[in-house]
Structure 1
Amino acid sequence: MRKLLITISIIGGSLLLGACRKDFVKINTDPNTATSLNPQYLLSTVLVNSAYTYQDDAYMDKPGEAGRYFTKVRNEADDLFGWSSVTWDGYYNTLSLNYQLYNFAKTQHQGQYMAVSEILRAFNFSRITDLYGDCPYSEALQLKENANVHPRYDAQQDIYTDLLKRLTAANDSLANATLDVDKTYDIMYGGNLLKWRKFANALHLRLLMRISSKDKTAFTQMQDMLNDASRFPLFTTFEEEACIPYLGKTKSDSWPGGNLVNSVTETQKYKPSKELVDALLSLNDPRLPVWIAPVEQATGYTVDGNKYVGVPNAIPAPYDYNGGEAHISELAPLFFSNADPLLKASLMTYAEQCFILAEAAQQGGVTVKGETAQTLYEKGIRGSMGAYKIDGAAQDSYLKQPGVAYDGTLKQLIQQKWIAGFMKGFEGWFDNRRTGLPAFTLGPLSALRTIPARYLYPTLETSLNADNYNKAVATQGADKTTTLMWYLKK
């Protein structure tokens, strides 16, 4: 499987958009190169590229610090929010591969792969626009056909409108599909089209919640979906959520300490944050020992004598906090053994879906048959814990605790959604910038007085696609991390 993925990546790499690179105009002109490929061969690669990078970014890149899950204790610029521009080439490369998947499926009249490709398209394009705001969309991925090396930036509102339409169409297409997806190459769902539909609809809810404060029809669209559950099936258990396993089986090739990063020492730059560890401790959360390792030495600390110790963000000499690394927690062994079935790269979880519906119900935006905001909130917690094999008795005890027992506040709901989002993508950061919750501590050395709102556009865009870049900046606002994108503007 790994050899196959590498081979496909080489094929797909020649199709890299890179948003707007003149060097790619001449791609695929070799008459001896294969011009067709069965779509199932690309599916595995698109899935791996989508899920692994989403997981990597949640841990070893800016979203991990912005979501206050991690503190970077070496080369701390990301932790201090002194963010520089961020390339989007990897994201567009995945979309380019997915574009070929779609086109191969269309040529061969395989609608089931076209629909799956559309779902993955929505996931990856939503990630780009959620990170940057306006971005190349309608003119992206078409370099081979149109030789357009200067794709325009579409408005985020228009991108979202189109993504939501495509998710609806993909769900409907799979409902009527007469052909199967090859279970060998579908490493997420083993060819189960109903589960793909559930992922599409859960993702649909995520995007609607994202824009709910800006688009007054968002809750109405949610309600329309909920009113037709047979047409729009959703996750019913954590066992259906969108995730894939890691391929490694030993520490040397496992995530995050193996072949997906430079070396094990690279992971030593990232420590669990004080905000996360303290929240887990304060709530007697049974997920704490599953996620976080105890400190190596119980004596000799300087600040915190707890068994589990997180590092505050944006402080001087974070590597020396509490007396040094022997008195700071690491990630638990779970995250260094791909053989552990609990370690998976997630695109979207059942817990997240439950919290989205709980928030919508709490705000009076939707009603869910047989559910209340409280039951959905509790299902979100149970869904997260169940995925980590926390037993039912421990779940029951946790839900009865003061601070956890449902109180009807958005503050409590978002805190629990944030906890459940540990190592699950960007949602902790994105919910904070959307709601202001949890109320994160910035730290004394933070370069900003707010959590960043976005990534800076790639540096090369200012020269290789300057006209379209300038138009986007003129419309959206200055290319700064504090500039609000469309759905965050009041």
Structure 2
Amino acid sequence: MKYQHIYKLSFILLALFFMGCDKELTEANKNPNGIDPTEADPNLFLPSIMQGTARRYTFRGYGHFGGVMQHMQEDGWFGGYNNYQWTPENWNHWFAYLRNNEFVLEKAQNRGFTFLEGITTTMKALAFGTMTDLWGDIPYNEALKARDESEILFPTYDSQDVVYKGVLEQLNYASGLFALGDNTGSPGGADLYFQGDISKWQPFSNSLILRYAMRVSEKMPDLARQNIESVYQSGIYIKDHTEDVQRPFYNSDPWPTAESQSSTGSGFLRRKPCQTLVDVLYENQDPRGPVWFAPVHCRWVEDYTLDKPKDEFIRKNGELTNKVSLLHKEYVAEIAAGHVFTRHYNPDLLGEKLDTNVYVGVPPHMLEPSIHNENPTPGQIVQNQHVSQMAPMFAARTHDMLQSRVITATEIHFILAEAALKGWNVGNAEDHYKEGIRQSLAMWGVGEHFDSYIEQPNVKFNGTLEQIMEQKWIAGFTHALESWYDYRRTGYPVLETGRAALQSAVPVRILYGENELQFNEEKIREALERLESTPYSEAQGKNSQWAKPWLIQGTGKPW
């Protein structure tokens, strides 16, 4: 569809519009043959907002936060991914989406386009909610006012409680607009999420209410309970994985670790499963494991008859070769042809036990992760034959299972399970827990294994928050942002740090960017003062990834 290909162009067009100088200069340089953005169809700008928002979730959730939450680790160029070596980050992307969105929202309000107003109000709430999730206090009430009558160029930072309350108010307002059923000004195909189907937007906005209400449940329990019970009793929220809000990838807009993204395929090769997740999947006989991860190319075999610590060369179908290793693509071809590769070692002579499993991950925060499990070819871009790679689909440009997931039925059912555990009127915790698992398995194409998986000793419902959050963490694979947010407020799952971690605690916020520190110094200083210093943040000062924002101050979580 044409809207799938114009979002980048529309983003650039509107960004240029907002970067314009004063009115006189704009009029003097107006192209009589061009498109005046003030007169343009506002629907033209929706694709860039929706696609951009979805992509940011994936870039974060499959990116650094996949490492933070120990779903994955990298064994090359790994400092930021594995070890919390974060630097200040600007929020240009999010405010670009917000400015574009504000333009469309104003047009919708001026023209009486109720449906479009609901869409843009939802997207606005989602963007502000994500920003406060990431950074803490942010400009909210005075944001986006540089070009209106107030001309606020240096906005005040609102505290997180103000922002979260505002986000919930916006989402409730949007839900009310969708409930009217008025699809006047429907965006049609410009609506990349639902193709102009108004019936799907209220479940989306209500599901976001569930997300943000649970986010503040420790600090504002009454507000959280009211919102969650109201949405649950309405019955209008995302219930099935076929209703997930997501966007596919394309050959022209590929998955982040597609091998074609670099000449060496290093983005794919250096990303590995984390041993933390592998251990849980293995212990629970989780059917998602083989979907996400590939068996090791060359498996270690314990051999106490070996007269040396380990084989120097690999064995092909049991016979020694004269090769230390093969290239990744060579292994793939040979294994596809039915060949089996091993190396033998003698634990007594080597003095340690190696991992002989079919699926092997990289432990978190290793000093030199590329040498793990006696890799004979360590380095930045050379694969480790004794550690699992990601499954082949993660090297593809596009795949049905590879989606930018904004919110899922799985997340919603786990939220309701947690709410039920609190004693709120949202049904039975075990039912929601099971449904969260069921939807995740179905999403990854292994739904037929639900009955056997749910009976695993560690999976069978035991009525604890820790179990709910562990299963939600597993289900958060490839979209780990929500796993990080959950960890901050609950402390689950319990994560241990390794030797190379910058601090022995998981970070709890993104650092404010240099742009704000330089150009809005007075206002950001107020926000920094509201952050809570911790033993882990003292060396950096307040703008630290270990300084606690309002959301977790006084909770004792996650550490």
Secondary structure of 2:364's aligned partner: coil
The 3-state SS of whatever aligns with 1:46 is helix
Assess if the C-alpha contact under 8 Å between 2:69 and 2:480 holds in 1: no
User: How far 1:194 moved relative to its partner?
Assistant: 2.1
SS of equivalent residue, structure 2 residue 79:
coil
Task: List, as ranges, runs of 4+ consecutive aligned residues in structure 1 with deviation greater than 4 Å.
Answer: 23-28, 258-263
The match for 2:174 among 153, 170, 176 is 170
> Which of 495, 498, 511 in structure 2 is aligned with 1:456?
511
Is 1:376 paired with 2:460? Answer: no
Q: Point out where structure 1 has 5 or more consecutive residues left out of the alignment.
A: 17-22
Contact 2:210 2:228 in 1 (8 A): no
> Equivalent of 2:425, from 350, 367, 380?
367
Q: For each residue in 1:271-312, what CA deviation from the matched residue of structure 2 results, as whole angstroms up to 9, or x when unmatched?
A: 221111111111110011111122222234873121111111
Deviation at 1:12, TM superposition (A): 2.4
CA positional deviation for 1:259:
9.9
Secondary structure of residue in 1 paired with 2:247: strand
What one-letter code is carried by the residue in structure 2 that aligns with 1:8?
Answer: S
- In the alignment, structure 2 segments of 5+ residues that lack a partner are 300-341, 345-352, 376-383, 533-541, 555-559
SS across alignment from 2:59: helix
Alignment CA distance shift 1:261-1:474 (3 Å)? farther
1:318 aligned partner: 369
Residue deviations 1:339-386 (CA, integer Å, cap 9, x gap) = 53222111001000000000111121x122xx4100100000001111
**CA shift at 1:226, angstroms?**
4.2
Asked if the contact 1:60–1:270 (Cα under 8 Å) also holds between the matched residues in 2, the reply is no
Equivalent AA in structure 1 for residue 437 of structure 2? I
Structure 2: distance between partners of 1:160 and 1:55: 22
Q: What SS does the corresponding residue of 1:347 show, helix, strand or coil? A: strand
How high is the sequence identity, in percent, across the aligned residues? 29
Partner of 2:14: 12
TM-score by length of 1: 0.91
Query: Contact 2:278/2:361 (CA < 8 Å) preserved in 1?
Result: yes
Answering whether residue 494 of structure 2 is matched by residue 442 of structure 1, we say no
Taking a change above 3 Å as real, the CA distance of residues 133 and 189 of structure 1, as seen in their structure-2 partners, is: same
Please state how far the C-alpha of 1:223 moved relative to its aligned partner.
4.8
Counterpart CA distance in 2 for 1:434 and 1:221 is 19
Distance apart, 1:42 and its partner CA: 1.5
Structure-1 separation of matches of 2:343 and 2:51: 43
Match of 1:287 in 2: 288
Pair member with larger Rg: 2
Is the counterpart of residue 86 in structure 1 residue 84 in structure 2? no
State yes or no: 1:400 paired with 2:455.
yes
Q: Is the Cα–Cα contact under 8 Å of residues 38 and 105 in structure 1 kept in the other structure?
A: no
Counterpart of 2:415?
A: 356
The question of 1:424 aligning with 2:479 is answered yes
Q: Distance in 1 between matches of 2:125 and 2:247?
A: 18
Q: Distance in 2 between matches of 1:149 and 1:25?
A: 14
CA-CA distance at 1:128 after TM superposition? 0.7
Q: CA deviation at 1:389?
A: 1.9
The match for 1:198 is 203
Q: Indicate how the Cα distance of structure 1 residues 261 and 164 shifts in structure 2: closer, same or farther if over 3 A, else same.
A: farther
- Tell me the distance in 1 between the aligned counterparts of 2:122 and 2:394: 28
Alignment of 1:175-194 (within 5 A): 175-179=179-183, 181-194=186-199
1:209 aligns to 2:267 (yes or no): no
Which amino acid is the alignment partner of residue 465 of structure 2?
Answer: L
Q: Which moved more, 1:221-230 or 1:190-199?
A: 221-230
Distance across 1 between alignment mates of 2:433 and 2:128: 28
Residue type at the aligned position of 2:436: G
Instruction: Letter of the 2:279 partner, please give it.
Output: D
How far did residue 142 of structure 1 move?
2.5
Shift of 1:224: 4.0
- Name the CA shift for 1:219/1:93 in 2 (closer, same or farther; >3 Å): closer
Q: Secondary structure at the match of 1:117?
A: helix
CA contact (8 A) 1:348 1:424 kept: no
1:246 aligns with 2:302: no
Q: Retained in 2: the 8 A contact 1:316–1:445?
A: yes
Q: Measure how far apart 1:201 and its partner are.
A: 0.8
Match of 1:488 in 2: 552
Q: Residue 218 of structure 1: CA displacement?
A: 3.4
TM (normalized to structure 2)?
A: 0.80
Alignment of 1:60-139 (within 5 A): 60-61=63-64, 63-78=65-80, 79-139=82-142
Counterpart-to-counterpart distance in 2, 1:111 and 1:148: 28
SS in 1 for 2:39: coil
SS at 1:56 equivalent: helix
Please give the per-residue CA displacement for 1:98-130, whole angstroms capped at 9, x wherever unaligned: 122212222332121111111111111111101
Distance 2:210 2:232 in 1: 14
1:389 aligns with 2:452: no
The CA distance in 1 between the partners of 2:122 and 2:254, in whole Å, is 28
- Return the alpha-carbon distance in structure 1 between the equivalents of residues 247 and 437 of structure 2: 21
Say how many residue pairs are matched: 474
Matched, 1:218 2:223: yes
2:396 paired with 1:337: yes
Q: Which moved more, 1:119-128 or 1:187-196?
A: 187-196
Which residue, out of 450, 455, 466, partners 2:521?
Answer: 466
Query: Is 1:327 the counterpart of 2:329 in the alignment?
Result: no
